[in-house]
Amino acid sequence: MNASPDQNGALLQARNVTRRFGELVAVNDVSFDVLKGEIFGIAGPNGSGKSTLFNILTGIPFGPSAGRIIFMGEEIQRLPAYRISQAGLVRTFQKDAEFPTMTARENVVCGAVYCGGLRRDAAQAAADDALDAVGFDKRRQSLPAMDLSVYERKQLMIASAVAGSPAMLLLDEPAAGLTKPEIKELGDLVLSIRDRGVTIVLIEHVLTLLLKVSERLMVLNQGAVLAHGDPHEVVRDQRVVEAYLGKRELVL
């Protein structure tokens, strides 16, 4: 999909987005831009609203209580989730979301159909291209997803999203459960997906990964933006260090 960014280069603009659950304000008046072609990192302690932010950006499973989300120049906060995906804004989930008894390749074809709106031969071709793009072992593409390794399931998750040719990919803690060498491999994979022209927003607790790949970093705390800017400066910000202490340590 050809991305048509805003004049300042923003592919996505979130403006004063808020999500309430009864009394709890899980995302509180958050505004930011994601520029075309960048990798934009998001960090924050457990429960700070990171996944909820992805939920409301993509409408899966709910939109914002208030605020505006502009993607490629169009307001999307009231669109149904499938329209947002097919407009080119696609997400992954923290928990395994593959169909366990379907093969790896069938899972990625489903991604091409749902996220890309493709059919038949086009979906198959897009799936093969996406599996190649993530370096998935060809000999293991016909195995049921439940028989794959943890890293292969991460590759599958990313391939399923990439098969729809998104303009922007939102990755929710993709390094969870991976070994250090696998995290390094994942970092190279994220960079290579960006180099194919996909803008990436990356939620992560593993700061080595965020620092390796992100051009800009935003830290959330209690639903609000605590700091944003150059990743190396943000992680040294005293407010950021304090927000993590006593909750979950920065993983370096």
Q: Which residues contact ligand ATP (rule: CB under 6 A)?
A: 21, 24, 26, 44, 46-52
- Closer CB to ligand ATP, residue 50 or residue 194? 50
Q: What is the phi/psi pair of residue 10, to 5°?
A: -80, 125
- Closer CB to ligand ATP, residue 147 or residue 242? 242
- Closer CB to ligand ATP, residue 27 or residue 127? 27
Cα–chain-centroid distance for residue 110? 18
- Closer CB to ligand ATP, residue 14 or residue 26? 26
**Least distance (Å) from ligand ATP to the CB of residue 25?**
9
Q: Exposure of 196 by Cβ count < 10 A (0-12 exposed, 13-18 middle, 19+ buried)?
A: exposed
Number of C-beta neighbours around residue 219 at 10 A: 26
**Least distance (Å) from ligand ATP to the CB of residue 173?**
7
**Least distance (Å) from ligand ATP to the CB of residue 239?**
16
Here the tokens at position 90 are 């696609």
**Least distance (Å) from ligand ATP to the CB of residue 83?**
22
d(CA 40, CA 217): 6
**Least distance (Å) from ligand ATP to the CB of residue 185?**
22
**What sign does the CA torsion over 117, 143, 96, 185 have?**
negative
> What is the chain's alpha carbon radius of gyration, rounded to the nearest angstrom?
17
Distances in Å between the Cα of 92 and the Cα atoms of 79, 143, 151 are: 19, 21, 15
- Closer CB to ligand ATP, residue 23 or residue 121? 23
